[in-house]
Amino acid sequence: MASDLAGAVSGAAARPAAAAAAPTRFPPPWRAALARLGWTAASIGLFVGIWELCWATGLSDPKLLPPPHIFLANIPDQARFFNTATRWQIGINPADGPSPYEAVFITIGATSMRVFVGLAIAAVLSVSIGVLIRYFQLLERLTLPTITLLSPISPIAWLPIAIFIFGIGNAPAIFMVVVALFFHMTLSTISQIDAVNRNYINVARTMGATKRQIYARVIIPAILPQLLLVLRLNMFGAWMVVLVAETTGVGFGLGQVLSMARNTFNPSLVFFCIALIGVLGFLTDLILRMVQNRILFWVPQTAGVLRGL
């Protein structure tokens, strides 16, 4: 008995690290992910808690600022307002079409599609034009002043033009997203090209690399990390613009439901839409972050370097 105890004590002393790690059961990457998830839940919980507290104490009017437990309580009831059936068309039975739940997913899908298609078009267009502007001086002289002139114009100002040109449907919404991001991302591409470490370019020059090789092998890889960051930040912009675009004549979309909720004075539906948009924005950011980590494995992780202060 005594020797058993002594053996256990010496065994524990010999492998203190193993003993300390044993009780958690999870491998370290999982533990880190769980911790992150826990903090995310705590952060949202805190926000929701304060809101609910305001409701419970009567500080906020539930008719104007319904707390989450009210606007998330009756999802089927909210889903009724998502109407994606084209019931105004002649020969279609008003009772046909997708169920309310299906309609919610169709609406989310339609809005997300507009965001991603717009984002993709804007990214490809602005990066290629930004690079070409630095590559060919004639192009810079011909286009850069116009791009600088048009970039501060609010995307809202483009809305009538989007409708004039593209009518109704997906096209004006996608156009709005593209126009909201294109100028800004083009200018940002140009400034990133200018910020590339001169030494990288000089090294390539001493190797006898041509201008085309320097752009392909040095400049474009060097600006990629910042470009992806800009893309992530602009994705939020795309989510904002698409809602504005959808308030006018796109048939269906989160923006359309939101504008209908405003017109029918339905705060509960407004907050339901806001919650959906928040979750969607969070998920798309997560996806882009994962893409970023996959492509930019060589960028040293700098997040958290200030934590020791």
Partner 1 sequence: MDRPFLEISRVSVRFGATLPPVLSGIDLRIRQGEYVAVIGHSGCGKSTLLNVVAGLLPATQGGVVLEGKEVAEPGPDRAVVFQNHSLLPWLTCYENVKLAVDRTAGREMSRAGRHDWTMRNLALVRMEGHAAKRPAEISGGMKQRIGIARALAMRPKVLLLDEPFGALDALTRAHLQDQVMAIHAELGTTVMMITHDVDEAVLLSDRIVMLTNGPDAVVGEVLEVDLPRPRDRLALASHPRFLAAREAVLRFLHERHAPPGQAAA
**Which residues sit at the interface with partner 1, rule CB under 8 A?**
197, 199-200, 202-203, 205-209, 213, 217-218, 221-222, 298-300
Q: Tell me how far, at minimum, the Cβ of 225 lies from partner 1, in Å.
A: 9
CA-closest candidate to residue 286, choices 108, 36, 113: 36
Closest CA to 200 of 229, 170, 183, 223: 223
> Nearest approach, Cβ of 64 to partner 1 (angstroms)?
52
Q: Which is nearer to partner 1, 103 or 218 (CB)?
A: 218
Token pair in block for residue 12: 């524990």
Distance CA 123, CA 127 (A): 6
Closest CA to 117 of 174, 185, 176, 167: 174
Nearer to partner 1 by Cβ, of 19 and 207: the residue is 207
Q: Are 201 and 214 in contact (CB under 8 A)?
A: yes
| Least distance to partner 1, CB of residue 208, Å | 5
Lookup result for tokens 């090209």: 193
CB of residue 27 vs partner 1: minimum separation in angstroms? 23
Nearer to partner 1, 3 or 302 (CB): 302
219 vs 276, which CB is nearer to partner 1? 219
CA distances from 100 to 72, 75, 85, 271 (A): 15, 10, 10, 18
Minimum distance, C-beta of residue 264 to partner 1, in the bound complex (Å): 53
Q: Which is nearer to partner 1, 21 or 222 (CB)?
A: 222
Residue 231 beta carbon to partner 1: minimum distance, rounded to whole angstroms: 18
Q: Which is nearer to partner 1, 84 or 192 (CB)?
A: 192
Nearest to 229 by CA among 302, 144, 140: 302
Nearest residue to 113 (alpha-carbon basis) of 284, 288, 289, 293:
284
